[in-house]
Amino acid sequence: MGFKVGIVGIGTVGTEMVRALRERGFPADEIRVMARSERDEEVAGESFHVVEASADAFDGLDFAFFAGTEGAKGASQLYGWEAVKRGAIVIDNGDDFRMDNRVPLVIPEVNGEALKGHQGFVANPNCSTIIALMALGPLHRAFGIRRFVASTYQSVSGTGRAAIDELERQIRQYAAGEALTGQVYPHQIALNVLPHIGGLKDAMPGYTSEEAKMLFESRKILGDPAIRVSATCVRVPVFYGHSEALNVEFARPVTPEQAREVLEAAPGVRVVDELPAGRYPMPIHVAGKDDVLVGRIRADGSAANGLALFVAGDNIRKGAALNAVQIAERLI
């Protein structure tokens, strides 16, 4: 059962992929790390000889994980289908092929059946989509979603290592009474929130690409093109963990108690919903963890069959690396 695994990119997501493979006992007898240049590097506590990414570097691999952070372009466009031709199953964390009709877009706990008949190329959804649909997927199966509104609170790790460093530097600068400097974001991120993630989306005037992904990816994953979605995506000064406020309109009546029962039985979901005791999902409780937390489950009287809830999950773990590894496990 030994598989040969390649990982393209050793940034925040690639490092977490190595960690997830090891922690879950993935049956890999080789992990081949690829990047722009050849070198020796420590990744997740292991020493690797990193090889330069090239078409030939994919020879002999069973799985090839493309670990680019959200918005990183190029690697899977250059080498994705070439890796498939050379015998590897590609699992791509980037957004280049998510809406490609040839490519399943998969959250294993939600639509793992979409892997049937794959053509050797599978896409990871966007991190905020994964975290939302871990809760909404089971509820959609039970009650049918007609519409949802998502307001996201997304950590800086979704932008990559440079953004993590920038937030840490700005916190230190603020504490020292110094001027805050930044290059990653157009405004300071410490002590601030930025309602702007991604580029402008011409097909949806006024919306960003991150907000459009929530609409189009959710429809594809849930298999329902009629679902209506409105999202506002906000970057917040948190290192790890995306949180989301979700207001959902269902086709059938649903009570908070019924929703909790469904969510408590959902794999990969943990209900944390005791408002009087101050227990609810927070990013500090999901950093480095596999489960998506769901709480603040309550009726939403502004919509027919309405429900409001709050979710949080680690965007680098379940929102990227872990989901990709779970796809490989499901294929095995």
Tally Cβ neighbours within 10 Å of residue 159. Answer: 21
Q: Which CATH superfamily is domain 129-315 in?
A: Dihydrodipicolinate Reductase; domain 2 (3.30.360.10)
- Residue with tokens 């690639």, as numbered in its chain: 14
pLDDT for 135: 98
Contact, 67 vs 11, CB < 8 A? yes
Helix axes 256-264, 127-143, angle to 10 degrees: 120
In the chain, residues under CATH classification 3.30.360.10 are 129-315
Catalytic residue among 49, 127, 140, 285: 127
Q: What is the spatial distance between Cα 147 and Cα 19, in angstroms, rounded to a whole number?
A: 36
At 71, the pLDDT band (50, 70, 90 cuts) reads very low
Q: What is the spatial distance between Cα 311 and Cα 274, in angstroms, rounded to a whole number?
A: 14
In the chain, residues under CATH classification 3.40.50.720 are 3-124+320-331
Q: What is the spatial distance between Cα 104 and Cα 121, in angstroms, rounded to a whole number?
A: 8
Q: What does the pLDDT look like over 100-113, one tens digit per residue?
A: 999 999 999 999 99
When pLDDT is averaged across residues 266-290 and rounded to a whole number, the result is 98
Q: Name the nearest CA neighbour of 91 among 106, 101, 109, 112.
A: 106
State the average pLDDT for the chain: 96
- Tokens representing 221 are 């994953």
Catalytic residue among 118, 187, 233, 242: 242
When pLDDT is averaged across residues 2-12 and rounded to a whole number, the result is 95
Burial of 296 (C-beta count, 10 Å sphere; 0-12/13-18/19+): middle
- Tokens representing 324 are 């990709």
Q: What does the pLDDT look like over 218-273, one tens digit per residue?
A: 999 999 999 999 999 999 999 999 999 999 999 999 999 999 999 999 999 999 99
Contact, 190 vs 174, CB < 8 A? yes
SS3 314: coil
Contact, 35 vs 53, CB < 8 A? yes
pLDDT for 70: 44
Contact, 321 vs 20, CB < 8 A? yes
Is it the case that residue 69 has pLDDT exceeding 60? no
pLDDT for 6: 98
- Side by side, the strands of the sheet bearing 306-313 are 228-235, 145-154, 242-250, 306-313, 292-299, 269-271
SS3 66: strand
When pLDDT is averaged across residues 32-55 and rounded to a whole number, the result is 93
CATH no. of 3-124+320-331: 3.40.50.720
At 73, the pLDDT band (50, 70, 90 cuts) reads low
Contact, 233 vs 210, CB < 8 A? yes
Q: What does the pLDDT look like over 136-180, one tens digit per residue?
A: 999 999 999 999 999 999 999 999 999 999 999 999 999 999 999
Instruction: Respond yes or no: is residue 127 known to be catalytic.
Output: yes
When pLDDT is averaged across residues 106-128 and rounded to a whole number, the result is 97
